[in-house]
Structure 1
Amino acid sequence: MTTTRAPRTATRRAVRTLALVAAGVLVLAGCTATPEPVVPEPSATPEAAAAAPRAAAATCSDLTASYEPGPDGAKVSGKEHVQAIKERGSLVVGVSADTLLMGSRNPITGEIEGFDIDMLEAVSTAIFGSPDHLQFRVITSGQRLDVLKNHEVDLVARAFSITCERWDEIAFSAEYFHSGQKVLVPLDSTATGIDDLDGARVCAPEGTTTIERLADFPGVEAVGAQTHTQCLVLFQQGKVDAITGDDTILAGFAAQDPYAKVVGDAISDEPYGIGVAADQVDLVRYVNAVLDEVKADGRWAQSYERWLGALGDAPAPPESLYGRTAGSS
């Protein structure tokens, strides 16, 4: 499903808090958005991507290292991919529409909103002078890599964990959020973490590191679903006993379902980055400059407090690490 951001009004902003409650009603009813095919104007062709030098392979000690913005953090606004986006008039982004708090559709205004969306709005504002130039492509977790490799979108911000394996296929911005995998269980459950779920059916989205990590817990029966929201529906129908995912996602589910709770210590480190096609290093540098500004000027903390305050006081933003170079394998 593709949505182009319309100009906002004061009324839309005023009803967002009420929308969180309404969003919960929609999910409890089992309603999910069905992505519609779209072919936005690409910034590059798949052939060009194949011919471009592959980014330097990440090691597990430097996987969050990205491409430095430029001298004194300057944005590289004149390079080809950023310029192509300007000429098109919109920034095409892959997002979730059903991950409450990170990226979900407000049922009152119809807008997609959340912490991930705030980061993308900052990039839109840097390029166009307004946050209203986002063209949304609603995707599943399993589609995140393909839409970038096929140049169907410019950026992906969808609770996208930076991993060594993914660096072999795409590029990432610097880390903009640090999450961790936990579990959601019924409110009356005595489980205090995933170690207490032997024999339980635990749901996670297919094609994610989340479901792959369940293999480390042989007593757990992994149940795959297309999205986290479908996991929530299965959970509410009693077809699975728990859901595992990043604490940001599970916090949104707990806000929607008063009979569920998030338990346990994180069993992983999940550094989130904005995904970019591997051959668009200039765009990565530009995004990194924007993220550095957002972290430094207070917008990151404001967004955290607005959307993720249930996780506690806003921490310091993740440090941006640089030093990655293009051209080596």
Structure 2
Amino acid sequence: MTSAAAKNVDARKPAIYLVVGAVLALGSMLLGGLASGEPTGPAQAPQAGGAPTAPAPACTEAVRESLRPQGPLPAPGAMPAGSTMAVIADRGRLIAGVDQGKFLAGYRDPLTGNLSGSDIDIVRRIAAAIFGDPERVQYVVLNIADRAAALERDQVDVVVNSFTVTCARQRVVEFSAPYMPASQRLLVPVDSGIREVEDLAGRTVCTSRGSTTEIVLRNLGLQVESLTGIPDCVLELQRGRVAAVSSDDVILAGLAAQDPNTRVVGRALDTSRYAVGMRPDEPDLVRFVNGVLEAARADGSLAASNRHWYTGRLDPVPPPPPPVYRD
């Protein structure tokens, strides 16, 4: 795993990590599939005569169901013979694709040098279920556009990187049941008087160019400035050139935590859900991860993680969504 798109990270290695760097890394995840380069569907293959095949039907709605866990989880260190989990156990480490620049979700703690956040908590749970040791992880820092590709190339076992379930991604990725909902909301200055999207009448809201967030805002008839990424929008907000920034509330919460002069407001303008991404040809791992998430919902640890990271930064802190299975 030495490509430019993916970098192995030792979670115990200290690193200089500036808050500005965290903010810059945050914005890239908001670019939609077309803007980020993530796959939006199978490529058109030429037919025998050189003519392209008919394009695949357009995605309209993501499938909400995942694969049901099969019985109780095996004991750590006793993975079923021949299973994907046994292969991971024999290797001695779980390989997880993550980010290190999404504050509160997946970021490198500047004090400890360790990776931390709500996404990292999920990775550690999966490792603990396989090995009995949450530290048995090889973290691979992925560019946002390379999350699905890293799975296709078998560079990682799982991707836990605020990975939104979409119809296009489901063509190449098998997702777990969701572990966190996300809502499109607003980031505004604390003294702006803006509470809801209606308060933006005659004012400009900024978001990342090409994102689904931009489409939602324009459909509401708002005056929208679209820039390369959310960090550019934050700079415009700080300069007073836009009245608000719109994105996933989880990302906005990280930004607000870094800038106490801002806060997250408003009702949900759109909703999505984050889930663990895996290879479609490893359904046993998908079922196993769903079993891990089921256990975390049942014992309250999944909700406790959300509260730990987002209390005082998101109001309300979203509870884990209930799973829906297709078999």
Greater shift, 272-281 or 148-157, is seen at: 148-157
1:321 is paired with a residue whose SS is: coil
Change (3 A) 1:198 1:251: same
Query: Which residue does 1:64 correspond to in 2?
Result: 64
1:155-234 maps to which residues of 2 (within 5 A)? 155-197=158-200, 202-205=205-208, 208-226=211-229, 228-229=230-231, 231-233=233-235
Q: 1: distance between equivalents of 2:170 and 2:24?
A: 34
Match of 1:100 in 2: 103
Q: Is 1:27 aligned with 2:20? A: yes
User: Within 2, Cα distance between the matches of 1:278 and 1:323?
Assistant: 15
The runs of 5 or more residues in structure 1 that have no matched partner are 13-21, 36-49, 51-56, 325-329
> Which of 272, 275, 281 is equivalent to 1:273?
275
Task: Tell me if the contact between 2:11 and 2:113 (Cα under 8 Å) persists in the aligned partners.
Answer: no
Between the aligned partners of 2:22 and 2:159, the Cα distance in structure 1 is 28
The residue number in structure 1 matching 2:290 is 288
Q: CA deviation at 1:232?
A: 3.5
Residue 2 of structure 1 is matched in structure 2 by 8
For the 8 Å contact 2:23–2:102, the answer to whether it is kept is: no
1:252 equivalent in alignment to 2:254: yes
The root-mean-square deviation of aligned C-alpha atoms, in Å, is: 3.5
Deviation per CA, 1:169-213, whole angstroms, max 9, x where unpaired?
211001111221101122232333334445655444566543443
With structure 2 as the length reference, what TM-score do the two structures score? 0.74
Structure 2: which 5+ residue stretches go unaligned? Answer: 1-6, 29-42, 44-57
8 Å CA contact 1:231–1:243 kept in 2: the answer is yes
Distance 1:170 1:28 in 2: 29
Give the structure with the higher percent helix. 1
Cα offset, 1:105, TM superposition = 1.1
C-alpha separation between the residues in 2 aligned to 1:181 and 1:162?
15
Which runs of 4 or more aligned residues in structure 1 lie more than 6 Å from their structure 2 counterparts after TM superposition?
Answer: 28-31
Contact kept, 8 Å, 1:178 with 1:318, in 2: the verdict is yes
- Is contact 2:12-2:113 (8 Å) kept? no
In 2, Cα distance between the equivalents of 1:31 and 1:110? 18
Paired with 2:184 and 2:19, the residues of 1 have a C-alpha distance of: 25
Kept after mapping to 1: 8 A contact 2:214/2:224: no
Equivalent residue in structure 2 for 1:307, among 295, 309, 316: 309
SS in structure 1 opposite 2:121? helix
Measured after TM superposition, the shift of residue 297 of structure 1 is 1.5
Change (3 A) 1:210 1:86: farther
Q: Is the 8 A contact 2:204 2:222 kept in 1?
A: no
Where does residue 38 of structure 2 map in the other structure? Answer: none
Structure 1 residue 296, shift from structure 2 partner: 0.9
Amino acid at match of 1:65: E
Identity score, percent: 35
Partner SS for 1:104: strand
Q: Deviations over 1:267-295 (max 9, x none)?
A: 11222211112222121111101111111
Q: For residues 132-189 of structure 1, give each alpha carbon's deviation from its aligned partner in whole angstroms, at most 9, with x where no partner exists.
A: 1222222343333232233322211222222233222211001111221101122232
Q: 1:272 to 1:220 in 2, by over 3 A?
A: same
Contact 2:302 2:320 in 1 (8 A): yes
Pairing of 1:130-145 with structure 2 (within 5 A): 130-145=133-148
The CA distance in 2 between the partners of 1:29 and 1:72, in whole Å, is: 39
Whose radius of gyration is greater, 1 or 2?
A: 2
Q: Select which of 263, 266, 285 maps to 1:264.
A: 266
